[in-house]
Amino acid sequence: MKTIFVTILTSAIFVLTSCSKDDTPVAVTPPVVVVPPVVVVDPVTPQNVRTFMVDPNATLETVALFYNLRKFSQTKFAVGQQDAFNAFYSASGISDVKKTTGFDPAVLGSDFMFITDKSNPTNNWFVQQENKIIQDTKDAYSKGIINIFCWHLREPNSEDSFYAKDMTSTQQQTAFKSILPGGTKHDWYKLKLDKVASIANNLKDNNNKLIPFIFRPFHEFDGSWFWWGASFCSPEEYKTVFQFTVDYLKNTKKVHNILYSFSPDNTYSNAAGYLNRYPGDGYVDVLGMDNYGDFANNQGTTGANRANSKLKYLSDLAIEKKKIAALTETGYQVTNSIPAISNWFSSYLYDALTQNNVQLAFVMFWSNGNGGFYVPTPTAANAADFNTFVKKPKAVLQNTLPAMYVLPN
């Protein structure tokens, strides 16, 4: 039997050549082995993207928004503000962000609160607010801006407030339960959803195409400042109402231009806690988080690092679930008695949004007004810091936001 021994040398190979006069070994350099980089292929494609969305029958523009936000978040994040076009400087129509930076925000936040108020349409002021919000949404869309709506829905008893502190203890413990299917206020809740659906189904551009938007109902539910908070309903009850909301709008009212966002506050320190009231992948397109607390009281790097760790598990969850991640509300309000913090935007916030490979589609600041501002005025002490922030490599305003409503081939 013949045995063949094959020896692989990992260093230089020396070969004895018969033509050498002194039989001196000649060094031969081994071939260089090039290992190709590992290419991670995104399983979400323009062809199959609908299978990862809440609404497989979503309009083409809504599908494009979902797909493009996911792609965009891998390298950039959009900068937005609540009520950007009509806050602080009265109803000027020019965004506060633009007055300070020269460019509009890339995300506009709006609210269904006045639209679904009990005084609408009997009180003309509420009708005016509805018309203003609708027009702002249309104007934003025409500029390529992303639209997102929250909903400070007033409680189902007297409909005077959305804050739990303004309710009796009995109302606090029964309000959310009453809007469950079969509850005493369930039909009342469906009427409110009918109004939301009417707005969505009539929100059209100049070409009569439906305008997509992100909807985040019952946000910050892990706290107990709202009547839908964690102290007033069980996880299963919360999930049931969230699921009913989506199913009713999508299936009963045939609304197909909404992406749905799940948006707790920042009380969770890990993914398991975050998912405690999660209604399921079939009901959520955007994994959001509101976080003011980690940036409050001048906590500096400590607070920013804590916020970053929370955004990291949020980002990882979104990547795992093929969803979108976002910081759906944040900010540091400057008032006459609360001064600006040096480098709050360009250092603390930016680091929280970008360190440890966090991937977020957008960050949204709350509206200016009520005695202070979240986005600085042009002459404010922190205006230069905000301008530095929006010019950072990953931050994007409207002027550099890519086309969000066109699906790639």
What's the average pLDDT block by block, 10 residues per block, for the chain (409 residues)? Answer: 42 42 61 74 95 98 98 98 76 84 97 97 94 96 98 98 98 98 98 98 98 98 98 98 99 99 98 98 98 96 98 98 98 96 98 98 95 94 98 98 96
pLDDT for residue 115: 97
pLDDT for residue 349: 98
pLDDT for residue 41: 85
- Predicted model pTM: 0.91
pLDDT for residue 125: 93
Quote the CA–CA distance of 40 and 196 in Å, as a whole number.
40
8 Å CB contact between 213 and 259: yes
pLDDT for residue 6: 39
Close Cβ partners of 221 (under 8 Å, ≥ 6 residues apart)? 228, 229, 230, 238, 264, 265, 277
Quote the CA–CA distance of 284 and 265 in Å, as a whole number.
16
pLDDT for residue 31: 77
pLDDT for residue 27: 63
pLDDT for residue 270: 97
